[in-house]
Amino acid sequence: MRIALDAMGTDLAPDPEIQGALQALADFEGDIEIVLVGDEPALRAAVSRHGPIPERLTFKHASDRVTAEDSPASVIRKKPNSSIVVGLKLHQQGEADAFVSAGSTGAIMATSLFTLRPLPGVDRPAVGTLLPTLGSPCLLIDAGANVDCKPQHLVQFAHLGNVYVRDAIGTAEPRVALLNIGEEPGKGNEVVAETYELLSRERGIRFVGNVEGRDIIQDTCDVVVCDGFVGNVLLKFYESVAAVIVAMLRKQLDGRDVGSLFDEVFRVLDYSEYGGAPLLGVGGVSIICHGESSPKAIRNALGVAARAVRSDMVKHSAQDVTAAAR
Amino acid sequence: MRIALDAMGTDLAPDPEIQGALQALADFEGDIEIVLVGDEPALRAAVSRHGPIPERLTFKHASDRVTAEDSPASVIRKKPNSSIVVGLKLHQQGEADAFVSAGSTGAIMATSLFTLRPLPGVDRPAVGTLLPTLGSPCLLIDAGANVDCKPQHLVQFAHLGNVYVRDAIGTAEPRVALLNIGEEPGKGNEVVAETYELLSRERGIRFVGNVEGRDIIQDTCDVVVCDGFVGNVLLKFYESVAAVIVAMLRKQLDGRDVGSLFDEVFRVLDYSEYGGAPLLGVGGVSIICHGESSPKAIRNALGVAARAVRSDMVKHSAQDVTAAAR
């Protein structure tokens, strides 16, 4: 299996990508090959500084880089030699089985949609993000791709999230919940109330009903379905609450020694631990990482990508969504 | 000024209510009178245990109590002698200038709407909740009353929140922001994008544009406007994130002595500190407190209610919303 890794994605690229790739090759099973996509001469030189270039690490030259100034939708046309477009085309043409990038979220999404195309039966591919909880992480889907959703879109998200958590994270029979403002059926706005009805009758997923905001990180479910507006607000809020609370505690502690206390808490709250956010519902494996990803986060994203490929996640997603649409 | 306080609201009623009322009478200026609404003989006996009954504390008998089993909308008909209905009728009839209760949120909202009526120009009264931030607290409106909102409703929320924060909290020229998934105009779903346009042209409020989930508790605004679905999810999520993080830290600390560290953080995060959640846009002052309110939270809610009355908040709300509708 070969994974294309955008080597121009993180804020500190290509170092976190190179270190993450080397770590993944060292840690994971022997069938993984990684293709570093970027400025080949520079990448070769940078990798060489870590020792001889491993056999399972290859390069694909891409001379250009997507920046925050580029309009996401125009990247495929205006920057055909960018690492995002070159890497995704490798995947599209079957020369890679998955794509991982810490570059512009919008550009990765738009280019993935264009190259990998939505799966049959998927109206709206969606972004999933694993949130740390008191127990196993919970996949929030959609985390921001679709701001206006109809009930059938939310039902598709439920299937896509279910297959991802089962196949790529390895949770058997994920508990799938609908984000709402009350537990009883009939609660919520029109879209959510109708989605509840649909999910209650849906086969192939273990629907556990409505959950409220307070339940998400209490390990009550493995997948929580919402529209991309709510999901994105929640996700960004979560990051900031953690940071604010730790800042408050630091101030209170006022220099007292508590060892690695905060490092540990930040580690638990750091969702990059879980390997990036997949774009689900397209005909391939496309994983979006934070621009601030550490080598470890890149390594973990490569691990999740490998697991998604090995488990045939995309095939299962297509089967489940198609069966649901019948 | 006379404030009706439901003495049957908190989970531990009437003790937190009685202690909160006594504290408010001791702390606040001399023009406040409090009417305890509940089982008069029992209340008199309970108050007497704290010393002689203060002159400014009176009683209004209510023999019945609203429970979680009661359907909120039917309370006014089925439980006319409940403390919520009796207290709100006192306010409606001008025998009290405000109403404070820690009882069923739904019942207080429904009964307030029925007795105090929406203000002219207000289509949808909304619940505001002050969230603790790194700086001054931020009012989230709507925190759950209206799950399907149109742009004009969100504009009304902006005015109602603006007047509340200015009059009852005392922040001059509150910064009013729209909750969105990006900072640029045009971002977000259809309703929010249109609301941005309306708020940009709106007079009488200091609109500071879109804020994202991460900005809310970073002291970037004093009022954040959203629909009641998003607001309710966020509010409940916030409470749980704080609790989960503190639980993680406690586990990490593993018995090490850090003094009052957590008490202090919980105090900062405890939004009951700010005096309950007002139902805004009705023809009166109706403040909803947590069922777990402490005496201090009740005292603070009475203080906010007094400030709202003294500042003529309801009159200003009506003026602003009416001017906006022109």
Task: Please give the residue that has the higher pLDDT: either B262 or A227.
Answer: A227
Q: What is the CATH number of domain A124-272?
A: 3.40.718.10
Quote the mean pLDDT of chain B. 91
Residues of chain A with C-beta less than 8 angstroms from the C-beta of B233:
179, 181, 212-213, 226, 230, 234
pLDDT of residue B146 exceeding 60, the answer is yes
Q: What is the dihedral of CA A46, A51, A57, A61, to 10 degrees?
A: 20
Question: Hey, which residues 224-243 in chain A have their CB within 8 Å of chain B?
Answer: 226-230, 232-242
Judged by CB atoms closer than 8 Å, whether chains meet at A134 and B247 is answered as: yes
Residues of chain B with C-beta less than 8 angstroms from the C-beta of A192:
147, 229
Residues of chain B with C-beta less than 8 angstroms from the C-beta of A215:
240
The residue-averaged pLDDT of B83-95 equals 98
What is the C-alpha to C-alpha distance for residues B289 and B276, in angstroms, rounded to an integer?
4
ipTM of this predicted structure: 0.87
What is the C-alpha to C-alpha distance for residues B282 and B114, in angstroms, rounded to an integer?
10
| A203-206 CB contacts, 8 Å cutoff, 24+ apart | A203/A323, A203/A324, A204/A159, A204/A162, A204/A320, A204/A323, A204/A324, A205/A158, A205/A159, A205/A162, A205/A174, A205/A176, A206/A162, A206/A173, A206/A174, A206/A175, A206/A176
What is the C-alpha to C-alpha distance for residues A122 and A120, in angstroms, rounded to an integer?
6
**CB half-sphere exposure, A49, CA atoms < 13 A:** 9
Write the residue in B190, B256, B261 that is nearest to A252 by C-beta: B261
In tens, the pLDDT along B222-250 reads 999 999 999 999 998 988 877 777 777 77
Judged by CB atoms closer than 8 Å, whether chains meet at A213 and B236 is answered as: yes
Task: Please give the residue that has the higher pLDDT: either A292 or A85.
Answer: A85
Q: What is the DSSP string of B225-237?
A: E--HHHHHHHHHH
In tens, the pLDDT along B277-306 reads 999 999 999 999 988 899 999 999 999 999
Cis peptide before A142 (omega within 30 of 0): yes
A312 in contact with B, Cβ within 8 Å: no
Domain segments of chain A as ranges: 1-122+281-312, 124-272
pLDDT of residue A242: 73
Is the separation of the CB atoms in B179 and A201 below 8 Å?
no
A135 in contact with B, Cβ within 8 Å: no
A134 in contact with B, Cβ within 8 Å: yes
Q: Which residue of A has its CA nearest to B143?
A: A181
In tens, the pLDDT along A4-48 reads 999 999 999 999 999 999 999 999 977 899 999 999 999 999 999
What is the C-alpha to C-alpha distance for residues B239 and B169, in angstroms, rounded to an integer?
22
pLDDT of residue B173: 97
The residue-averaged pLDDT of A189-207 equals 95
Quote the mean pLDDT of chain A. 91
Write the residue in B190, B213, B261 that is nearest to A234 by C-beta: B213
The residue-averaged pLDDT of A308-312 equals 96
pLDDT of residue B268 exceeding 70, the answer is no
Task: Please give the residue that has the higher pLDDT: either A276 or A227.
Answer: A227
What is the C-alpha to C-alpha distance for residues B180 and A232, in angstroms, rounded to an integer?
9
Q: Give the gap in angstroms from C-alpha A35 to the nearest C-alpha of chain B.
A: 33
Task: Please give the residue that has the higher pLDDT: either A218 or A3.
Answer: A3
In the numeric block, which tokens belong to residue B295?
């005496």
What is the C-alpha to C-alpha distance for residues A165 and A196, in angstroms, rounded to an integer?
20
A256 in contact with B, Cβ within 8 Å: yes
pLDDT of residue A314: 97
Fold held by B1-122+281-311: Isopropylmalate Dehydrogenase (3.40.718)
User: Residue A179: beta bridge partners?
Assistant: A211
Host H or E run for residue B126: strand B126-131
Is the separation of the CB atoms in B202 and B324 below 8 Å?
yes
The residue-averaged pLDDT of A167-183 equals 95
| Least confident range of A235-249, B20-34, B38-52, B311-325 | A235-249
pLDDT of residue A252: 67
In tens, the pLDDT along A101-121 reads 999 999 999 999 999 999 999
With a pLDDT cut of 90, the percent of chain A lying above it is 77
Residues of chain A with C-beta less than 8 angstroms from the C-beta of B234:
213, 233-234, 237
Per DSSP bridges, beta strands B126-131 and B138-141 are: antiparallel
The residue-averaged pLDDT of A88-100 equals 98
What is the C-alpha to C-alpha distance for residues A159 and B26, in angstroms, rounded to an integer?
59
Q: Does domain B123-273 have CATH number 3.40.718.10?
A: yes
In tens, the pLDDT along A41-81 reads 999 999 999 999 999 999 999 999 999 899 999 999 999 99
In this prediction, residue B318 has a pLDDT band, given cuts at 50, 70 and 90, of very high
User: Residue B179: beta bridge partners?
Assistant: B211
A270 in contact with B, Cβ within 8 Å: no
Say which CATH architecture domain A1-122+281-312 belongs to.
3-Layer(aba) Sandwich (3.40)
In tens, the pLDDT along A273-286 reads 677 899 999 999 99
Contacts of B193 (CB under 8 A, 6+ apart): B185, B186, B187
Mutate which: B69, B133, B237, B246, vs A, most A CBs within 10 A: B237
- CATH fold match for the domains A1-122+281-312 and A124-272: yes
